Amino acid sequence: MSHTESIERLWGGRFKSGPSEALEALSRSDPSFFRLAPYDLAGSRAHARELVRAGLLNDAELRQLLDAMAQIEADFLAGTLQPSLADEDVHTFLERVLTQRAPAVGGKLRAGRSRNDQAANDLRLYLRDKARTLVPAINDLQHALVEQARQHVRTVTAGFTHLQPAQPIAFAHQLLAHAQSIYRDVDRLVDWDRRTARSPLGAAALAGSAICLQPELSASELGYDAPCENSIDAVAARDHVAEFVFVASMLAVHLSRLSEEVILWTSRQFRWVELDDGYATGSSIMPQKKNSDIAELTRGKAGRLIGDLGGLLATLKSLPLAYNRDLAEDKIAAFDCVDTLALVLPAMTGMIRTMRVNVDEMRRQAPLGFTLATEVADWLALRGVPFSEAHEITGALVRACEANGIELADVSPAMLAGVDPRLEPAVLERVTLDAAVAARSGFGGTAPERVTEQIARLAAAIERQNAWAADYKGPSC
């Protein structure tokens, strides 16, 4: 092996011969990993300044390196510079090109660092950056849900438990239930970033660097809050990646639950919602079909992201400290989550924003299945009847309705009295859809005024999340 070849591999100094083809094939990074090039260059710029502070580079050499790295980044982003098959990973690729373009100083940059802290730093920077692009995309979906909710504060529909009609609710309340769970996913990303804003640079291979002794300055230049407390943990830990993948998979689960309901709502059995033609597909054999493919594809991809999380946790569970090559699997999971959500979120947002709600059909179905029965039991309880008795009386009334093939709204005063003398005709004033919805007026309830307040609070909270994403400066170097 020539000296040049060992430099290009970054690790060949003590070897008499080159690696086998099988080893090279296994060791070579997945092509997707090279997307980290801009983040690796950001870390290299911060590291170059650290080498100036350590006295290994002068100002002129620093300028030469920074100019060369700026051009490398521009060429890479323009697509005119690509890694070769001989480039084992993004670090090898960029050092090779840097040494070619700045031969006098390119080789100096490796002092005081390792691929271990570089790899950890690259993915942290990437994920912190992508969190800021995911949040606005997620919140576009949130806005779509809120926009639909504003239109349907007084649209009454049936709420379900066990997929059985349960109680009347405002359709806006149902939409906002999905929005609230997605809001928490964004909140998890914000909280995740607080723990992830620690720089691994300066940890080198595992013990820290004898050259780069001010990692807090590099951390600041890269937009971190501080360096990692422990150099071994800095290169060995991937819980921040697993946590990111968890948040992504939890979001995917919530999107899947929303998708499942859209699939139900658009079915001929429900007829609650019709999708815009631009966000639905047809059948190759059945001309009448209009399929909610976006919802189905999203539901399917949730399983993939759950698998990403399980696979990453399985990889991490038995690794000894500090760095091991197993950790390269972290990027497979993280990139898949980022790429999948980037596809799913705009499609889901468009589908929700453009869907048309069949208000009249919802209201027609809302009382079916005796969804107003709880109103009868509550009416009795408010008049001093123990709820256990009220429950039994209402159950008997439902049985009587079933026997006569009628709904609660059709009950006569005589039938009420025949079930139980405490069922006075005044109860019928309570057994209406609007009265039932309005009665749930406690905080978090489905009453229109509470739903309107919920919309206002959620919209303001979403804007705070968007402001957090916009405020990120990222690497300053």
Active site residues per annotation: 162, 283
Helix axes 293-316, 239-265, angle to 10 degrees: 160
In sequence order, the 6+-apart residues with CB closer than 8 A to the CB of 101 are 68, 71, 72
356 in Cβ contact with 273 (< 8 Å): yes
